[in-house]
Amino acid sequence: MRPLAIILLTCFYSVTSLAEDKQLAGLFEQKNIKGTIVISSLNGERSFSYNDERRDLRFSTASTFKILNSMIALEEGVISGRLSIIKWDGTLYEYSSWNRDQTLESAFKQSCVWCFQELAQRIGPEKYRSYIEKMNYGQLKGPLTQLHSGLMGRLR
């Protein structure tokens, strides 16, 4: 595995103790934001969190899925870097910014779903499931036979 994947795995598995952090709470309250955050040191010795009660609830992965999708695509070599071109197939989408060739960087910035669907198709369902399970990234329900935006809603 590449270093980025190892770092991410370390982050997921290194949370040893969590305590509600007053400074983080202040930032969320100041902006009137309902959310949750967990920040852990790579060695797992220190962790900070906000909204511990909500932290343990399961939600759809939504746009955070772009991060994992991009990492897997880079790891598997289906795209070589942030400026690699993902060819648009001519399908017209609701968002005009999606209606053109994209780079990984532009797809990420614009949450261009068709790009992430394309990358997932290139990776394939079995490899994809393997990464999701190794990363302990949500709970995938049912078989993973077709990769599409609905996958994001199936992960909790």
Predicted local confidence at residue 36, as pLDDT: 83
Band of residue 79 on the pLDDT scale cut at 50, 70, 90: very high
Predicted local confidence at residue 20, as pLDDT: 61
Q: Is the pLDDT confidence value at 137 over 80?
A: no
Rounded distance between C-alpha atoms, residue 60 and residue 74, angstroms: 23
Predicted local confidence at residue 8, as pLDDT: 46
| pLDDT tens string 59-78 | 776 777 888 889 999 999 99
Q: Which residues contact 20 (CB under 8 A, 6 or more apart)?
A: 49, 50, 51, 52
The identity of residue 128, as a single letter, is: Y
Q: Is the pTM of this model over 0.75?
A: no
Q: Confirm whether 70 is a catalytic residue.
A: no
Rounded distance between C-alpha atoms, residue 144 and residue 132, angstroms: 11
Vertex 138: Cα angle to 21 and 143 (nearest 5): 175
Taken in order of first residue, the domains within the chain and their CATH numbers are 3-55 (no CATH), 62-154 (3.40.710.10)
Rounded distance between C-alpha atoms, residue 49 and residue 24, angstroms: 7
Rounded distance between C-alpha atoms, residue 41 and residue 110, angstroms: 30
| pLDDT tens string 32-56 | 888 888 888 888 788 888 888 887 7
Q: Note whether 110 and 95 are within 8 A (CB).
A: yes
From the number of C-beta atoms within 10 Å of its C-beta (0-12, 13-18, 19+), residue 45 rates as exposed
The number of residues in the chain equals 156
Q: Token pair 């997932």 is at which residue?
A: 120
Q: What is the distance in angstroms between the CA of the first residue and the CA of the last residue of the chain? A: 25
Which of 17, 47, 49, 63 does the annotation list as catalytic? 63
